[in-house]
Amino acid sequence: MSRSLKNIAFIVTCGTLLSKCGGLVRQLVIASAFGVGAAYDAYNYAYILPGFLLVLLGGINGPFHNAMVSVLAKRPQNERSHVLAAVNTIISFGLLIVMIFLITSADSLIRILGPGLTPEIHKIATIQLQIMAPIALISGLLGLGFGSLNAANKFWFSSISPLISSISIITGVSLLWMQAGTKIGSIELSLKAGIVLAISTLVGALLQWLIQLPILIKSGLAKIKLVWDWHHPGVKEVLKVMAPATLSSGMLQINVFTDLFFASNIVGAAAGLSYASLLVQTPLGLISNALLVPLLPTFSKLADPKDKPALISRIHQGLILSTLSMVSLGAIFIALSRPIVALVFERGAFDSYAAGLVAALLIAYGLGMPAYLGRDLLVRVFYAISDGKTPFRLSLLGILLNIIFDWLFIGGPTPWGNQIPFNLGAPGLVISTAFVNLLTCLALIKQLHSKLNGLPIRLLIFDLFKILIAGFHCGLITWLTYHVINIPIGLGGEVLEIGLSASLGLGVFVLISKFFGIKEISQILALVNKKIIHP
């Protein structure tokens, strides 16, 4: 990687690490206060649509962010503020309509998203959705602003921005806890607790945008006025990339809706999916942002046919780096699922039943991590070469497959009983998504190979096979080490046991990868040594 790419990756990594730590603390507070009770279970359904829009439109690596980076990175500085203002105006008008729809149709939407919810949870979720509806408008402004800042090589604020939302929720729950005491997780306070969660989430999103504004103005990117300009070349190019990219990413988010639809009849499944997802998303988001954020502008700048060899080299490098990181982390999550969940969450209202449910889900997530990040990387390549249609078509097919596999893996439920002789429960929903992501990755690679006519498929398969061998031994050594060592000194001992086991497993993974001659592992080690050991 070039020096500038390393510097950007380091900045994004540090910012994302702070945000992920904040997100972890937020979930610890929520878990201790509510466990898998009614308030948080309802919140997971109410937050589906606002959260979908916030992640899809307002997040780093979302379609709005990617469209702005892809286009503005190639545009002169004096055009960028005009393009941002025009796109902001167009998008805000559409999202205002979406916000009104969420408020007026909240009851029906919750009924569709969670048909198996109890009347109490349904009522709480409906009120929460109405409160959080303005996030629809805020999300579009956030995503466009982040993309504009990243195109101008300003990465720090966009990386730490999610920390603001976490702080808002932690503050809201803490204030309620001070008032309610040990009764905070009781059934009597479920409605009040649900409202506090919703208001805190809305305030967090609003603060992200308000803090973003001065940075955009100082950078010369913000115009606080309505600009109706559909015909500017930059605006047309942004919308051309944004439309299929949003549809493609939206199709992927529908898989989340599908999972929660089937999960509504499994007690505590929605909350369990949220907790397990957080444990996975903390390192996955950290690595995803550190890898994809600096690579996207690079892919865009190499989109010219004369730069095809360099683009192919970057794609291969990105796939190997993402697979190395995800296979090693996935192996550790699988080997230490129960100890990790117990260490992080098992206290207060989060009992042993909840810990067992989340641990099983964590294993399923660990299996799917490589395909998840690989798909994200490949989709960014298509955006960079101005092809949003291919990911969209594959995402559409993925929705159908996810519905089928969800139904199959939880026993094939029908009004006449289950039609399939096996039922994987909530973990089956995660495995279904992982399987669909894997199939999508294979299809994207095939399409990309046809477009570029030179992707080193055989070399890529050989390298991936070697990484999987290293990952198997990493998980095995991690599991054996944890069950051999015994440090009976309470919480500190558990942390030490998990840390030693994971470190030894990672060490074995690195040694085997280096033995197989995977040069990207040396690049990772060099970056860590330069930026962390010798900053």
Residue of higher predicted confidence among 305 and 515? 515
Measure Cα distances from 63 to 70, 160, 389, 469 in Å: 10, 19, 13, 34
DSSP letter, residue 184: G
pLDDT in tens, 74-83: 555 666 666 6
Calpha distance 70→78 (Å, rounded): 17
Q: Residue written as tokens 């699922």?
A: 337
Predicted pLDDT at 530: 46
Predicted pLDDT at 535: 38
Predicted pLDDT at 270: 72
pLDDT in tens, 265-288: 776 677 778 778 778 877 777 677
Instruction: Say if residues 507 and 356 touch (Cβ distance below 8 Å).
Output: no
Which two three-digit tokens encode residue 68? 């702005």
Average pLDDT, the chain: 78
Which two three-digit tokens encode residue 253? 């988010």
Res. 50: pLDDT tops 60: yes
Res. 471: pLDDT tops 70: yes
Instruction: Say if residues 164 and 207 touch (Cβ distance below 8 Å).
Output: yes
- DSSP conformation letters of 176-236: HHHHHGGGGGSGGGHHHHHHHHHHHHHHHHHHHHHHHHHHHHHTT----S----S--HHHH
Which two three-digit tokens encode residue 492? 């500190």
Predicted pLDDT at 410: 81
Predicted pLDDT at 373: 86
Res. 73: pLDDT tops 60: no
Highest mean pLDDT among 188-197, 341-350, 505-514: 505-514
Instruction: Say if residues 52 and 133 touch (Cβ distance below 8 Å).
Output: no
pLDDT in tens, 84-114: 677 777 777 888 898 999 999 999 998 887 7
Close Cβ partners of 213 (under 8 Å, ≥ 6 residues apart):
145, 222
pLDDT band at 483 (very low <50, low <70, confident <90, very high): confident
Calpha distance 42→36 (Å, rounded): 10
Predicted pLDDT at 246: 64
- Arithmetic mean of pLDDT, 452-460: 82
pLDDT in tens, 223-268: 566 666 666 666 666 666 666 666 656 555 677 777 777 776 776 6
Which two three-digit tokens encode residue 114? 């969670």
Residue 333 buriedness (CB in 10 A; 0-12 / 13-18 / 19+): buried
Measure Cα distances from 176 to 128, 207, 470 in Å: 16, 20, 47
Calpha distance 395→443 (Å, rounded): 11
